[in-house]
Structure 1
């Protein structure tokens, strides 16, 4: 219920409220006696901001209060509070369904007295619904619903940033879930030093929270577990914690939160592009699955965060896409049938000229009275027998990578055992700059060529040398590149490269039978220079 005290505000929070903000408790009146506190819904400790539901005694309506608690005699605390109030006042001119409208801003001497233990108050319209923290307390949200919820919030951020406004939604208790299933910034009041980048990182953190139930930014509520980190200090991808999370959403969350690297996502518009693609794929999948479902059969859904299709043109595009998919399926089935007919009922006679297979003659001197053969072109650099790496691991600077348990399949000498990437709905580098296999050698080797056995046409790779297993992508060096064609591809290095660590880095994925993009490696051989 909206009127109950949030379970995350424990005894420690209550003690802090009394120590810094006087007796903030249900029933107390603030703001020149106008607002009566009803229930607390969180504390943003970074700014000593206490989030309350209150009753406006003049207009007889519920409102959301962000109470800035502090000592008026502390000049630094007063300065930070003034900055937050100024930003909140600017936001009062901003209107969007994803942000609660700011109704009033009270400061010391203007609605707030020094004896209240408050430095200011931001008054906003009350948002009906439930707490975001309560939503993820039981279990993570389904990926499709999580994408929809963040999509609506990202639209608000994008609109605000176009107007030069920072929203300050980088704390989960400031957000609420409306009855319609949309996330909304219910307690406006950005931190004094918050930036546009902080809003974008918050979108990634909210997505991470919905998918995993963990918060990936500093300053979260004590009741929410912090996101785990890799040994290199990166946030563990959601897919590693919840295997059912699609690779696109997992990568989007990590790339939005992380600051470093060339593959980071730094704008809300970039987030929206990925979420729009995920949403369209979900709609297409649901439409296909709906075909043949008995009328009146329910899937048990109680509520949904699915947005209605925005316009007729989008509906037509979706219908056209499904039609193309059905036609393509029929064509493939017909082609397969014809191939079977040709296989079992074809002419037994030879279909082409007879080939005369003979052993390759050995090299010998020219016969008498015959001219010598012309000189051949310069020979390619000679390579030796393959050298086997000591180990192989998935190289993904942003996390644990794709199918790490199968990385050894790429160097076991058996093309029948493969390592493959996750299935992506968007081609690299839309979601991430790439992924690859790192081969580690006990002693430095000097390579001249890399041979890749794989049935993954269209895959483009770079051979990169690295100084260590944990090297960042920017610190590796490209020593060769090529595109996989046929079942065996040899990539000559630009010049012999020496080192202990080499990466087969995939920059473009192959097709996955019309169901996204995927690449696989059957066997990778490393051939040294002679």
Structure 2
């Protein structure tokens, strides 16, 4: 046993030594990615986790750098297996997993002189480290359940598609600004299984509740979970008494391999987490109400804060207010009685102007029996009145995270001829597997108050968004969605949520049409822009 530990310690030291040449400012991946900051090391896979800058696309990315000796056949084999699994994950899209953008291997983006066996490139996840979160204090049970629930949904979706995510290391996870956990550094271990993903969910829950990691290979910054004399993980409730017994049991039953009461699927975790989270939130609500009820009088009267004190001035104000209310009520009743008397004693002749409620505003046509308009209580808001189409000054390809897609033919979408088309490249994967979308940016001579966009296209299944922008070539995050629709016919008119004034608009494709099993692509024949009248 001591010999094995010494060998493992030596391997870990060797991994750190090989990765010691990685430092901020160094460039990897054929000079494309400049390292910015390191966020952890998964020593089990000799994987160094870095934030880097993509010099070509001018954006931050997450790099999983596989460090090793290219002359070591076993290390090279394991690295190839990790890269293969990461490449499969690039086809997977879920909010709980950072999108894999590229996979680099020896001879294909990585050279032996870099001391790397491969690189997994993923989109950068904004937020904070999971390690930093638990270093301050354990997370409240209800919040922990919700965090793991969102991550379990990603695991369940991946497992349905036969994919292993490999989230069994806390430094691979980040907490988004919205409070959700996300796998920020994809790259499963070569021998990782679906069961390992499930155990990782239990370990993450254990970490949030106790600040300790319950699986082998955790980072040195996080203490390991204690074990019982029988070698079992100590339940979280034994370390933090505030943890509900159901949540404590769930964490242990998910981590432990043996026993008939173990939890082995992500769908089972989701069911339990949903029940525990709802129960915990109800308990917190009851406790909050109970604190208010603690201020109740012995006779059963409940005060939300404290018993009121006698206040003569306040009583005088209250009496004055009641008096004013009574007088106002008497006046209203007297006025109503006079109206009834006039109604029965009058000559029945109508007074005042005649109003035709069915006529348009401003019309003085007399009312006709049976021609009154029905009450508009359930009417839907009418589409805005639109004027004649306004021709854009120019149209250009909007492709912020890619290239291609026939930029020279984009002008066909505003030439007045629906028969001349522009179409995207043909993709083997549906958006947003490789990039979030592709679109057409149009600009006008002057700002227009746009109400509708008419799209002529034979491209069923295509989904588009209409976005307004403040400049000709904005970042996608700087644009605003003002309308959306599906292209399911030869002509589709998209009415904006409300007329929007701008000089720049983008027709943004978020889902491509299915090209009959031969991939995915979309095409547009003509774009017409109709302003509000």
TM-score normalised to the size of structure 2?
0.51
Q: Check whether the contact 2:42–2:217 (CA below 8 A) recurs between aligned residues.
A: yes
Residues 1:259 and 1:17: Cα distance change in structure 2 (over 3 Å) = closer
Q: Check whether the contact 2:210–2:240 (CA below 8 A) recurs between aligned residues.
A: yes
Moved over 2 A (4+): 12-19, 282-294
Determine the structure 1 residue equivalent to 2:124.
126
Determine the structure 2 residue equivalent to 1:64.
62
* C-alpha distance in 2 between matches for 1:72 and 1:185: 28
Matches within 5 A, 1:481-520: none
Determine the structure 1 residue equivalent to 2:222.
224
- Is 1:211 paired with 2:216? no
Determine the structure 2 residue equivalent to 1:38.
36
Determine the structure 2 residue equivalent to 1:273.
271
Q: Check whether the contact 2:141–2:280 (CA below 8 A) recurs between aligned residues.
A: no
For structure 1, the residue ranges without an aligned partner over 5 or more in a row are: 1-11, 295-530
Structure 1, residues 188-213: CA drift from partner, whole Å, max 9, x if none? 00000000000000000000001111
Q: 1:91 aligns with which of 64, 89, 92?
A: 89
For structure 2, the residue ranges without an aligned partner over 5 or more in a row are: 1-9, 293-533
Structure 1, residues 50-108: CA drift from partner, whole Å, max 9, x if none? 00000000110000000000001100000000000000000001000100000000000
Determine the structure 1 residue equivalent to 2:280.
282
Q: Check whether the contact 2:214–2:225 (CA below 8 A) recurs between aligned residues.
A: yes
Q: Check whether the contact 1:17–1:24 (CA below 8 A) recurs between aligned residues.
A: no
CA drift at 1:283:
3.8
Matches within 5 A, 1:165-314: 165-286=163-284, 288=286
Q: What SS is found at the alignment partner of 2:21?
A: coil
Greater CA radius of gyration, 1 or 2? 2
Q: What SS is found at the alignment partner of 2:133?
A: helix
Determine the structure 1 residue equivalent to 2:525.
none
CA drift at 1:139:
1.3
* C-alpha distance in 1 between matches for 2:274 and 2:30: 46
Structure 1, residues 436-460: CA drift from partner, whole Å, max 9, x if none? xxxxxxxxxxxxxxxxxxxxxxxxx
CA drift at 1:293:
9.8
Q: What SS is found at the alignment partner of 1:145?
A: helix
Q: Check whether the contact 1:22–1:116 (CA below 8 A) recurs between aligned residues.
A: no
* C-alpha distance in 2 between matches for 1:134 and 1:50: 18
CA drift at 1:154:
0.4
CA drift at 1:223:
1.5
Q: What SS is found at the alignment partner of 2:147?
A: helix
Q: What SS is found at the alignment partner of 2:125?
A: coil
Q: Check whether the contact 2:12–2:43 (CA below 8 A) recurs between aligned residues.
A: no
* C-alpha distance in 2 between matches for 1:58 and 1:15: 34
* C-alpha distance in 1 between matches for 2:16 and 2:282: 53
Q: What SS is found at the alignment partner of 2:36?
A: strand
Q: What SS is found at the alignment partner of 1:192?
A: coil
* C-alpha distance in 2 between matches for 1:16 and 1:241: 35
Determine the structure 1 residue equivalent to 2:98.
100
Residues 1:80 and 1:37: Cα distance change in structure 2 (over 3 Å) = same
- Is 1:28 paired with 2:26? yes
Q: Check whether the contact 1:21–1:116 (CA below 8 A) recurs between aligned residues.
A: no
